[in-house]
Amino acid sequence: MASFTILPAPSSLFANKNCLILTPTLASAKGFTVKYSRVSNSPSISLGARSSIQLQTFAAMQEKGTSALNGDLKMKIPHVLTVAGSDSGAGAGIQADLKACAARGVYCSTVITAVTAQNTVGVQGVSNVPEDFVAEQLRSVLSDMQVDVVKTGMLPSVGIVKILCKTLREYPDQALVVDPVMVSTSGDVLAGPSILSVFREELLPMAGIITPNLKETSALLDGIKLETVDDMRSAARLLHNMGPKHVLVKGGDLPDSSDAVDILFDGDNFYELRSPRIKSRNTHGTGCSLASCIAAELAKGYSMLSAVKVAKRYVETALDYSKDIVIGGGPQGPFDHLLRLKSNSRDCQRLQAFNPNDLFLYAVTDSGMNKRWGRSITDAVKAAIEGGATIVQLREKDAETRDFLESARACLKICQSHGVPLLINDRIDIALACNADGVHVGQSDMPVRVARTLLGPEKIIGVSCKTPEQAHQAWVDGADYIGCGGVFPTNTKENNTTVGLEGLKTVCMASKLPVVAIGGIGISNARDVMEIGVPNLKGVAVVSALFDRQCVLTETRKLHTILSEANVSILH
Ligand SMILES: Cc1ncc(COP(=O)(O)OP(=O)(O)O)c(N)n1
Ligand SMILES: Cc1nc(C(=O)O)sc1CCOP(=O)(O)O
Ligand SMILES: [Mg+2]
């Protein structure tokens, strides 16, 4: 089976000679196997028995690579079609979908099912679009434009749902995201109970994912009570039995929970996605925006789990950013989708959300040490990766900005070619300039919240924590992991207080985020660190044990072996 890589990730290409259009989503809908390669950061497509025209086109793409962009192969941007109602207040519905897709760098076409007169007080009126005209809009878009994902919102009548399902059967190539909208945030009914049976029988079985909130989940399951996370899991399983490939039950309204808990179920596994509950009046349109963002990420080629994680992070960040805006006088305000995030297409290149297991062997560079041993930073990073480092942080305290940026760019290339994330210590500007995978900040560096707003939802942010309180704040502020130390005394960082193995354990147990231990760790004590036996301690971060040595490769290999053995003994 041949394997081809689409360049440049995550865009897709098409050959206009024979109009074969390929995106990762479309390719998988057409029966190709799309592999998400950590190595190239690009989706690759395995071809089974396919027609020679298609094979030739893929071969042409492969041969021509990026240079083909200026020739007969053109860029196609990912495309979501939203089928939903218009909200005159523009917080939800079609308007939210357009903004969410724009914020995520995805084209969005629209089929309007109803026009609502709506503001921050509530819904004053609804006028359904005639069914025939919904059908006409659907045909116009689907017959001409290359849609990757169809996302549905307000479907106000049984007839409109039937027309949608019939049309989707005629154009079966897109993934389908169903947000089963029934009641607005203000409590107004947007689709009555008569819709339920056609949802269950026709629409849900076609969906790649459905995203009901608790009320919608209960309505779809004949009024079932949902009071706990376990109830949400059972409900997700029941909804999955109706046919959608994935179910995301959103627990934003769950009573007695300080976190917003969503349950994703894929038929085999449950994923509990938790984030701090953001207190804000401006939450109107959250559901529409989340579903649109999932659709947008799927259209770019993300896996379902990554799409859902990034979408949840995007909505959280936008809600947090918009807490203080005032639009309208009613109780439910809209939020700002186009928050000042840098969300151009360069930022959408990572096809995997942060993987905590990447913290396993965390190599932190030090320019002084590399100079002392007469090696360049790129050689140091290459050797560490070859020896088994699973994530790299550039901690170049004395480097000039221009030199740092140049080395960061070179190291990023090396890391990307090995599928290893690259983080920058302290310098958000350098991380932005080279489009690194993320940053690590300390308690007196740029606050995590500000870094998150600057970097966007998909970048990795780590923060140093010595206490349970700092660990809690890191979680509230939207960090991805914490670095806890100094575990042991170190010469690498001056005046660093040590927390010891007990302090590390206390912080790990208090932390909702994964933890990497740091400070004075090397081959003599790494095993002791990992054997504190706390599941969210994912690895060790080391500087001198790798870089203040003659051979970085040998030392990294030795540490990798010790960590792997410790991991095995912990698992048993
Ligand atoms: C993984 C990891 N953990 C902790 C630190 C320390 O960061 P900080 O406290 O900001 O100190 P400096 O490294 O900036 O001196 C880290 N770099 N990495
Ligand atoms: C960069 C850093 N941060 C620490 C913290 O306690 O947060 S300790 C530390 C230095 C780690 O270097 P080595 O592996 O050579 O001891
Ligand atoms: Mg720092």
pLDDT digits 0-9 by tens, 498-534? 999 999 999 999 999 999 999 999 999 999 999 999 9
Q: For a substitution probing ligand 2, which of 361, 365, 369, 492 has the most ligand atoms within 8 Å of its CB?
A: 492
- Mean pLDDT over all residues of the chain? 86
* Residue 283: active-site member: yes
Domain end point (choices 348, 377, 405) = 348
| Catalytically annotated residue among 91, 93, 105, 287 | 287
Same domain, 394 and 512: yes
Return the pLDDT at 150: 98
pLDDT above 90 for 495: yes
Return the pLDDT at 70: 41
Domain end point (choices 330, 348, 366) = 348
Show the ligand 2 pocket: residues with CB < 6 angstroms: 364, 464, 483, 485-486, 490, 492-493, 496, 518-521, 542-545
**Looking at ligand 1, which residue's alpha carbon is closest to its atom 2?**
483
Instruction: Check pocket membership of 395 for ligand 1, CB cut-off 6 A.
Output: yes
CB within 8 A of 429, min separation 6: which ones? 401
Pairing of strands 12-15, 20-21: antiparallel
Instruction: Check pocket membership of 446 for ligand 1, CB cut-off 6 A.
Output: no
- Closest ligand by atom to 423 CA: 1
pLDDT above 70 for 393: yes
Tokens linked to 109: 């076409």
Cα(345)–Cα(289) distance, integer angstroms = 19
Same domain, 284 and 365: no
Same domain, 44 and 192: no
Do residues 391 and 362 touch, judged by C-beta distance below 8 A? yes
Instruction: Give the least confident one: 4-18, 116-130, 456-470, 479-493.
Output: 4-18
Instruction: Give the least confident one: 200-204, 331-335, 480-484.
Output: 331-335
Angle 93-103/286-300 helices, nearest 10 degrees? Answer: 40
Instruction: Check pocket membership of 515 for ligand 1, CB cut-off 6 A.
Output: no
CB within 8 A of 292, min separation 6: which ones? 80, 82, 96, 97, 100, 101, 108, 151
Please give the torsion angle defined by the CA atoms of residues 3, 170, 201 and 266, in that order, rounded to the nearest 10 degrees: 10
Same domain, 375 and 489: yes
- Closest ligand by atom to 428 CA: 3
Amino acid at 138: L
- Ligand 1 centre to CA of 554 (Å) is 24
Same domain, 22 and 100: no
CB within 8 A of 547, min separation 6: which ones? 363, 365, 366, 369, 370, 373, 380, 384
Same domain, 62 and 146: no
Q: Summarize pLDDT for 233-268 with one digit per residue, the tens.
A: 999 999 999 999 999 999 988 877 778 899 999 999
Mean pLDDT of 144-161: 96
Q: Which helix (H) or strand (E) holds 432?
A: helix 428-434
Cα(11)–Cα(233) distance, integer angstroms = 35
Full domain range(s) for residue 176: 79-348
CATH of the domain at 556: 3.20.20.70
Cα(78)–Cα(464) distance, integer angstroms = 37
Same domain, 61 and 193: no
Q: For a substitution probing ligand 1, which of 367, 395, 404 has the most ligand atoms within 8 Å of its CB?
A: 395
Q: For a substitution probing ligand 1, which of 440, 444, 467 has the most ligand atoms within 8 Å of its CB?
A: 440
CATH of the domain at 336: 3.40.1190.20
pLDDT above 50 for 564: yes
pLDDT above 60 for 550: yes
Do residues 387 and 560 touch, judged by C-beta distance below 8 A? yes
User: Is the dihedral angle over the CA atoms 87, 88, 91, 95 positive or is it negative?
Assistant: positive
Tokens linked to 140: 């116009």
pLDDT above 90 coverage of the chain, percent? 73
pLDDT above 50 for 133: yes
- Closest atom, ligand 1, to C-alpha of 541: 1
Same domain, 6 and 86: no
Same domain, 83 and 68: no
- The domain total for the chain is 3
Mean pLDDT of 45-63: 34
Mean pLDDT of 106-132: 96
| Catalytically annotated residue among 285, 301, 388, 485 | 285
Pairing of strands 481-485, 515-518: parallel
Return the pLDDT at 458: 84
Return the pLDDT at 36: 38
pTM of the model as a whole: 0.69
Return the pLDDT at 61: 41
Residue 177 three-state SS: strand
- Ligand 3 centre to CA of 465 (Å) is 11
Domain end point (choices 18, 53, 76) = 76
Return the pLDDT at 166: 97
Same domain, 503 and 424: yes
**Looking at ligand 2, which residue's alpha carbon is closest to its atom 8?**
519
Same domain, 327 and 261: yes
Return the pLDDT at 275: 86
Instruction: Check pocket membership of 487 for ligand 1, CB cut-off 6 A.
Output: no
| Catalytically annotated residue among 151, 250, 300, 558 | 250
- Closest ligand by atom to 523 CA: 2
Per-residue DSSP letter, 183: B
Please give the torsion angle defined by the CA atoms of residues 226, 228, 229 and 231, in that order, rounded to the nearest 10 degrees: -40
pLDDT above 80 for 65: no
pLDDT above 60 for 17: no
- Closest atom, ligand 1, to C-alpha of 481: 1
Return the pLDDT at 185: 67
- Ligand 2 centre to CA of 469 (Å) is 20
* Residue 285: active-site member: yes
Q: For a substitution probing ligand 2, which of 425, 481, 490, 516 has the most ligand atoms within 8 Å of its CB?
A: 490
The residue among 564 and 352 whose pLDDT is bigger is 564
Instruction: Give the least confident one: 49-53, 163-167, 336-340.
Output: 49-53
User: What pLDDT band is residue 309 in, cutting at 50, 70 and 90?
Assistant: very high
* Residue 287: active-site member: yes
Do residues 111 and 93 touch, judged by C-beta distance below 8 A? no
**Looking at ligand 1, which residue's alpha carbon is closest to its atom 7?**
442
Same domain, 193 and 320: yes
Do residues 275 and 250 touch, judged by C-beta distance below 8 A? no
